[in-house]
Amino acid sequence: MRKITALIIFLLCTVYAYPQSIKLSGMNSKNIKVITNENPFDKTEDFELYKPITVLWPLNPMLVVENSKVYFGLTKEVNVILPGAKVKMGFEYSYIFREERNNHIRAFADYIIPLLARDFAAILMNVGGGYFTDTKKAGLFPQVSFGLLAGFGDFIGINVYIKARETFMLKSEESNIFDLSLGVGAAFYPF
């Protein structure tokens, strides 16, 4: 019962945290960085549409492999693209459905590599790494993700991605963790 209550509280607290949100400030269709002073909150129609989209995809599924056992989990990620760079910083919380060590917490940084950009969508590859903890053990991980960023307005888009990573524990007696996640999130980008 405590696990279900904690999961419900987590969902209620994070519904308005803009999950998997990306702020692409000043990127045009040719992936050239442009400095802009435009206030993104001036476009109220698109911004109001962003909130329900965020609620529709509050969590994303993931598979976790540890000690040759496969577990199912749900993950929530919040991203911010740093202004003037192709670097994405993020924080991720995952709940793994198993008896112990259910909480995975990660902080990471990714380098964004645009593979293909068109008027409607862009295919992106992110390569990076970060720090992992489940409150009992800690590790470092490299990660790679491929995604499709499709815009459907001047201000809003959808980011669909698949991410894989291998977490190497800092203590050699602890087992490494591999996880694979499929994500759908809202993208916020004022041009």
Distance CA 141, CA 127 (A): 11
Distance CA 129, CA 140 (A): 7
The separation between CA 176 and the C-alpha centre of its own chain, rounded to angstroms, equals 21
pLDDT at 53: 56
CATH of 2-188, one of 2.40.160.20, 1.10.8.50, 1.10.10.10, 1.10.3720.10: 2.40.160.20
pLDDT at 11: 52
Residue-wise pLDDT tens for the chain (191 aa)? 566 555 555 555 544 444 444 444 444 444 444 444 444 444 445 555 555 655 556 689 999 999 999 999 999 887 777 767 788 888 899 999 998 889 999 999 999 899 998 878 889 999 999 999 998 999 999 999 999 888 776 666 677 899 999 999 999 999 999 999 998 876 655 43
Phi, psi (rounded to 5 degrees) for 161: -145, 165
pLDDT at 9: 57
| Domains of the chain by residue range | 2-188
103 within 8 A of 93, measured Cβ to Cβ: yes
